[in-house]
A = this chain, B = another copy of it.
Amino acid sequence: MTSLSDNDTTVAELKKRILAFARERDWEQFHAPKNLSMALAAEAGELMEHFLWAEPSASRDIARDPVRRAKIEEELADVIIYALEFANMTGIDVSAAIQAKMTANARKYPVEKAKGRSDKYTEL
């Protein structure tokens, strides 16, 4: 099996593999948007569990610890798998949606106002 890497893997390629996995198991019947959004949120919760009591700066070290890192990679993969399957089931083009959202974000957070600040755009 060839190893995939972000540099030469399109979003469509990942979506296609995830869809094939579900189809082969006849799982599309369970993959209603409601259920996938729950699974996504539950996996996001598992990812958070690695960092509950740590200071933010210490969480950077946790993510570098080899044992923890293997688990963290798995949780992140689960999150993105469910997000892409959600996109499969609803026909969303993820790249276009991200591009549109980033264009909107750029208007809400212009560089000169947002630089170095974590405030919400309503408070800039």
**B78–A101 contact, CB under 8 A?**
yes
Interface 1/0 per residue, A83-102 and B, CB below 8 Å: 10011011011111111111
**A37–B33 contact, CB under 8 A?**
no
Is the interface on chain A under 10, 10 to 19, 20 to 34, or 35 or more residues? 35 or more
| Residue on B nearest A79 in the bound complex, by CB | B83
Name the interface residues of A1-49: CB closer than 8 Å to any CB of B. 1, 3-12, 14-15, 17-18, 21, 24-27, 29-30, 32-35, 37-49
Instruction: Name the contact of A97 in the complex, choosing from B17, B76, B115 (C-beta under 8 A).
Output: B76
Closest 7 pairs between A and B when the two form their complex, measured CB to CB: A45-B45, A32-B56, A34-B59, A53-B118, A34-B51, A77-B101, A41-B44
Q: What are 8 A-B pairs at a CB distance below 8 A?
A: A5-B93, A10-B11, A14-B98, A33-B50, A33-B51, A40-B44, A40-B79, A72-B92
A interface residues, Cβ below 8 angstroms from B? 1, 3-12, 14-15, 17-18, 21, 24-27, 29-30, 32-35, 37-57, 59-60, 62-64, 69, 72-74, 76-81, 83, 86-87, 89-90, 92-106, 109, 111, 114-116, 118
